């Protein structure tokens, strides 16, 4: 068993040894080794001289290599060494690969008195001397600038054995079986840079072929390469959309060196032939590519390797604009577009809340598919994927702002109510979220607040009652409601309170208890750029309802005007509540620009119970035109508390057409006609004389026929005194006449007795 393993090891050793190419080494003596030099006072002439050299040395000691400026006499020296190499006696095989070539020599002297950077030595090739065995002095100028080695600073060398290594140019131009011509030059010579100042020089002394071991020679190392280079590749993976770059590992074990690389897929990839780096030539699609990369050495031996390039997409799409939180006002529709991109095609946009929202899977437009609730935040996860399945998501909040006011409606109060208590308040309200509170205010027609911020308990279905203490008037009820967000809305209704007065019992001996209502009197007022002032007296009784009307006309034929009516008290009224007795059927009247059209306005006078006979109350109906705010009309009215019922009962039978003058009749008609109606009288048989003497005759007849003439005279005087304000002239005359009649009557009675 042991012998078997030994045999295996021997066989493996043989295989390994056969696979290793041996390196051959061949040395060549220089077929010629000589220096030529020339000097002249001018450096350029010395360097570029094409004639014979001043002197030459062949294989003697020393061989000089010098750049020098001699001060006395003034001369510039240049020494050049010419070297011949003949490989034909021991040729290198043509299929051999030269690994390196070195020129060896011995230095006996190194002088560097001009260390200026140009103090270097370089080997040049392809010189043109006629023979490689001898060098004629005429060949000083047969030199080139083709550098076939590196530049060596002479300060880096030391005495003894040194070498110069040929570079690639030198190796490529080396004749494997034949003549080769080289030369050594100093740096100042090569670069045409004169050495200075005088007395400076660079100089080397090299041994010739005196001692065999120290002789100058060339050594060539070469091989016969039959082994292919080795190349190693590994499979590669890149992300879709990125650049591909990969360099395989290749070596040439025989040392001839790698020559170039190549690949099979030159459509999608490209390779650097010198270093083997592979890059993509076009955009690579998702999938994989097989690449066969080949490499050959300088001999032509080829090897190759196949590897796979996988292009994958593991990157999610990206938002073109990152989705942000959104706001929408209730009940507006919501719309918002998200936008993503990806190197792979996008597949689908989608969201997690499909109950309240919908997204277009292609365009990314998001809309609401239900009515969004106000004052609420909706969380929405928006996602998009590509065709590979990579997913991108973003969570956003959609805030629904509640700016919608609640809905509120007033059903009652409306119209006219005859009671100021138990006035109904009904209505309803609603909100898209939730109602918070509701309340109401009431103002009268003049804008005075009667009830302020009265809270209600049930805001959805409002049903309650209220009382108002402002008396008979027009009122406006404002119903307010707000929601939990703070939005407020209101609704209003106008209504009227018209409470009938308490009817007192009928006077004793009367024929009934009805209230006296005057609905016939019409008073005309002309309204234009100024307003006429005219007065009126109206007789009243306690707890009475009377109606008084005015006709308004305009003499302004150019434009219409709006007149606002209101009650006004004197500065020191007897009672401050007189205007509360007054109710207008309308307070604003539009007068047309013509005298042919009249506007009638009526007011109802409701007297209280606590007024007494003989009281007088003064107020005015005032009007203001919108043509000029400073213009007003004033219509004074005097309310006079009178009661003629008893007088009519006693003396009504004598009230004929022959017993009263016109002024007396007018006053009675205006003030006590209802009393007369209560007693069953009519006015169809009255005739009213207009002549003063006729009135005197009627008065005498009247006094003569009555049983109690003195009482009648006194009553007559009181009547005339009552109408004094309205018809002062008639009153004064008739009082005087009556007094004269009374005196005459007394005188007659006394005379009869």
Residue 512 lies inside a defined structural domain of this protein? no
CATH number at residue 253: 2.60.40.10
pLDDT of residue 689: 39
- Compute the average pLDDT of residues 218-240: 91
468 and 418 within one domain: yes
Range 444-473 burial, b when 16+ CB lie within 10 A, else e: beeeeebbeeeebeebeebeeebebebbbb
- For the ranges 7-11, 201-205, 250-254, 744-748, the lowest mean pLDDT is seen at 7-11
- Compute the average pLDDT of residues 535-547: 83
476 and 441 within one domain: yes
Non-local (6+) Cβ contacts of 572 within 8 A are none
Residue 619 lies inside a defined structural domain of this protein? yes
> Would you state the structure tokens that stand for residue 467, as one six-digit string?
């009382």
Nearest to 310 by CA among 273, 280, 341: 280
Residue 511 pLDDT greater than 80, yes or no: no
pLDDT of residue 649: 45
pLDDT of residue 565: 86
Residue 513 lies inside a defined structural domain of this protein? no
Write out pLDDT tens, residues 231-240. 999 999 999 9
95 and 204 within one domain: yes
Query: Model-level pTM?
Result: 0.41
Q: Give the DSSP H or E segment for 650.
A: helix 645-651
Q: Are the beta carbons of 326 and 319 closer than 8 angstroms?
A: no
pLDDT of residue 722: 41
Domain boundary among 371, 401, 431: 401
Q: What whole-number distance in Å separates Cα of residue 160 and Cα of residue 104?
A: 10
596 and 660 within one domain: no
- CB-CB neighbours of 305 under 10 Å: 17
326 and 248 within one domain: no
* Cβ-defined contacts of 712-719 (< 8 Å, 24+): 712/651, 712/654, 713/738, 713/741, 713/742, 713/745, 715/647, 715/651, 719/664, 719/667, 719/668
Domain boundary among 262, 294, 312: 312
Residue 53 pLDDT greater than 70, yes or no: yes
Non-local (6+) Cβ contacts of 160 within 8 A are 106, 107
pLDDT of residue 6: 45
pLDDT of residue 718: 46
Residue 558 pLDDT greater than 90, yes or no: no
Q: What whole-number distance in Å separates Cα of residue 560 and Cα of residue 165?
A: 125
Write out pLDDT tens, residues 387-405. 999 999 999 999 999 888 9
- CB-CB neighbours of 64 under 10 Å: 18
pLDDT-derived band of residue 297, with 50, 70 and 90 as boundaries? confident
Q: What whole-number distance in Å separates Cα of residue 66 and Cα of residue 111?
A: 9
Q: Are the beta carbons of 228 and 236 closer than 8 angstroms?
A: no
CATH number at residue 135: 2.60.120
738 and 614 within one domain: no
Residue 76 lies inside a defined structural domain of this protein? yes
pLDDT-derived band of residue 621, with 50, 70 and 90 as boundaries? confident
- CB-CB neighbours of 585 under 10 Å: 11
pLDDT-derived band of residue 213, with 50, 70 and 90 as boundaries? confident
- CB-CB neighbours of 330 under 10 Å: 18
Q: Are the beta carbons of 380 and 395 closer than 8 angstroms?
A: yes
pLDDT of residue 714: 52
pLDDT-derived band of residue 574, with 50, 70 and 90 as boundaries? confident
287 and 348 within one domain: no
Q: Is 683 left (phi over 0), alpha (psi -120 to 50) or beta?
A: alpha
725 and 668 within one domain: yes
Write out pLDDT tens, residues 163-197. 999 999 999 999 999 999 999 999 999 999 998 89
Residue 245 pLDDT greater than 60, yes or no: yes
pLDDT of residue 450: 85
Strands (E), 166-247: 179-186, 201-206, 217-224, 230-232, 236-239, 245-246
Residue 115 lies inside a defined structural domain of this protein? yes
* Cβ-defined contacts of 58-61 (< 8 Å, 24+): 58/32, 58/33, 58/34, 58/134, 58/135, 58/208, 59/33, 59/34, 59/208, 59/209, 60/208, 61/108, 61/207, 61/208, 61/210
Domain boundary among 224, 252, 281: 224
pLDDT of residue 560: 81
Total structural domains in the chain? 6
| Residue predicted with more confidence, 109 or 563 | 109
pLDDT-derived band of residue 637, with 50, 70 and 90 as boundaries? confident
* Cβ-defined contacts of 346-352 (< 8 Å, 24+): 346/317, 346/384, 346/385, 346/386, 346/387, 347/384, 347/385, 347/386, 347/387, 348/384, 348/385, 349/382, 349/383, 349/384, 350/383, 350/384, 351/380, 351/381, 351/382, 351/383, 352/380, 352/381, 352/383
Q: What whole-number distance in Å separates Cα of residue 94 and Cα of residue 560?
A: 131
Write out pLDDT tens, residues 54-112. 988 887 778 889 999 999 889 999 999 999 999 999 999 988 888 899 999 999 999 99
pLDDT-derived band of residue 485, with 50, 70 and 90 as boundaries? confident
Residue 355 pLDDT greater than 90, yes or no: yes
627 and 711 within one domain: no
Q: Give the DSSP H or E segment for 164.
A: strand 160-165
Output the CA–CA distances (angstroms, integers) from residue 270 to 63, 114, 199, 602, in the order listed. Answer: 54, 51, 60, 110
pLDDT-derived band of residue 522, with 50, 70 and 90 as boundaries? very low
| Residue predicted with more confidence, 516 or 408 | 408
pLDDT-derived band of residue 470, with 50, 70 and 90 as boundaries? confident
- Compute the average pLDDT of residues 508-518: 35
215 and 74 within one domain: yes
Residue 5 lies inside a defined structural domain of this protein? no
Question: Which domain covers residue 264, as residue numbers?
Answer: 230-312
pLDDT of residue 233: 96
Strand partners for 398: 326, 378
Rg (CA), the chain: 70
Mean pLDDT value across the chain: 80
Nearest to 413 by CA among 442, 454, 452, 456: 442
- Report DSSP letters for 550-562, one per residue: EEEEE---S--EE
Write out pLDDT tens, residues 647-685. 444 444 444 434 444 444 444 444 444 444 443 333 333
236 and 103 within one domain: no
Q: Are the beta carbons of 112 and 201 closer than 8 angstroms?
A: no
- Compute the average pLDDT of residues 597-609: 87
Non-local (6+) Cβ contacts of 582 within 8 A are 567, 603, 604, 605, 619
Q: What whole-number distance in Å separates Cα of residue 525 and Cα of residue 635?
A: 9
Residue 267 pLDDT greater than 90, yes or no: yes
726 and 649 within one domain: yes
pLDDT of residue 506: 40
Residue 3 lies inside a defined structural domain of this protein? no
CATH number at residue 615: 2.60.40.2310
Residue 508 lies inside a defined structural domain of this protein? no
pLDDT of residue 150: 96
């Amino acid at each position: 068993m042991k012998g078997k393993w030994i045999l295996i090891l021997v066989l493996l050793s043989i295989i390994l040894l056969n696979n290793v190419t041996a390196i051959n080494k061949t040395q060549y003596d220089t077929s010629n080794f000589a220096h030529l030099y020339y000097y002249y006072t001018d450096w350029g002439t010395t360097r570029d001289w094409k004639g014979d050299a001043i002197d030459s040395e062949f294989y003697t000691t020393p061989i000089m290599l010098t750049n020098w400026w001699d001060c006395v006499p003034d001369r510039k020296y240049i020494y050049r060494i010419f070297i011949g190499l003949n490989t034909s006696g021991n040729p290198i095989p043509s299929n051999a690969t030269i690994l390196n070539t070195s020129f060896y020599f011995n230095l006996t002297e190194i002088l560097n008195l001009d260390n200026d950077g140009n103090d270097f030595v370089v080997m040049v090739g392809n010189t043109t001397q006629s023979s490689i065995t001898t060098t004629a002095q005429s060949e000083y100028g047969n030199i080139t600038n083709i550098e076939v080695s590196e530049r060596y600073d002479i300060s880096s060398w030391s005495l003894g054995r040194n070498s110069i290594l040929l570079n690639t140019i030198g190796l490529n131009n080396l004749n494997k079986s034949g003549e080769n011509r080289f030369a050594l030059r100093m740096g100042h010579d090569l670069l045409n840079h004169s050495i200075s100042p005088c007395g400076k020089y660079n100089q080397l002394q090299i041994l010739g072929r005196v001692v065999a071991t120290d002789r100058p020679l060339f050594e060539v190392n070469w091989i016969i390469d039959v082994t292919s280079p080795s190349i190693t590749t590994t499979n590669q993976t890149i992300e879709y959309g990125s650049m591909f770059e990969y360099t395989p590992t290749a070596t040439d074990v025989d040392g001839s060196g790698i020559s170039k690389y190549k690949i099979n897929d030159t459509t999608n990839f490209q390779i650097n032939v010198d270093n083997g780096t592979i890059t993509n030539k076009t955009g690579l699609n998702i999938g994989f590519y097989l690449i066969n990369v080949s490499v050959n050495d300088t001999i032509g031996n080829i090897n190759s390797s196949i590897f796979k390039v996988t292009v994958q997409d593991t990157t999610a799409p990206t938002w073109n604009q990152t989705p942000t939180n959104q706001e929408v006002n209730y009940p507006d529709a919501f719309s918002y577009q998200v936008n993503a991109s990806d190197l792979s095609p996008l597949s689908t946009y989608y969201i997690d809340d499909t109950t309240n929202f919908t997204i277009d899977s292609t365009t990314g437009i998001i809309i609401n598919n239900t009515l969004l609730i106000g004052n609420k935040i909706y969380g929405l996860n928006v996602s998009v994927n590509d065709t590979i399945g990579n997913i991108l998501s973003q969570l956003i909040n959609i805030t629904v702002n509640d700016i919608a006011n609640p809905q509120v409606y007033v059903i009652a109060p409306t119209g006219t109510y005859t009671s100021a208590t138990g006035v109904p308040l009904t209505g309803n309200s609603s909100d898209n979220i939730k109602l918070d509170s509701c309340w109401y205010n009431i103002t009268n027609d003049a804008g005075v607040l009667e009830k302020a911020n009265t809270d209600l308990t049930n805001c959805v279905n409002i049903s309650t009652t209220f009382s108002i203490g402002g008396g008979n008037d027009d009122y406006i009820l404002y119903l307010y409601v707000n929601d939990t967000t703070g939005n407020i809305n209101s609704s209003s209704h106008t209504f009227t309170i018209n409470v009938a007065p308490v009817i007192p019992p009928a006077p004793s001996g009367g024929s009934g208890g009805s209230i006296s209502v005057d609905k016939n009197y019409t008073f005309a007022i002309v309204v234009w750029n100024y307003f006429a002032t005219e007065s009126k007296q109206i007789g009243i009784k306690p707890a009475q309802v009377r109606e008084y009307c005015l006709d308004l006309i305009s003499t302004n034929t150019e434009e219409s005007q709006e007149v606002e009516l209101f009650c006004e008290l004197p500065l020191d009224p007897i009672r401050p509540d007189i205007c509360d007795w007054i109710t207008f059927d309308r307070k604003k009247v539009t007068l047309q620009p013509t005298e042919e059209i009249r506007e009638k306005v009526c007011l109802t006078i409701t007297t209280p119970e606590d007024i007494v006979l003989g009281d007088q109350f003064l107020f005015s109906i005032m009007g203001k035109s919108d043509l000029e705010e400073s213009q007003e009309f004033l219509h004074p009215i005097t309310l006079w508390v009178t009661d003629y019922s008893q007088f009519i009962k006693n003396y009504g039978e004598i009230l004929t057409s022959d017993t009263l003058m016109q002024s007396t009749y007018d006053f009675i008609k205006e003030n006590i006609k209802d009393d007369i109606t209560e007693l069953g009288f009519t006015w169809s048989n009255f005739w009213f004389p207009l002549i003063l003497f006729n009135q005197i005759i009627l008065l005498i007849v009247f006094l003569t026929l009555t049983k109690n003439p003195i009482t009648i005279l006194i009553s007559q005087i009181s009547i005339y005194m009552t109408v004094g304000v309205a018809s002062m002239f008639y009153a004064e005359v008739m009082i005087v006449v009556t007094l004269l009649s009374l005196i005459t009557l007394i005188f007659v009675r006394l005379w009869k007795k």
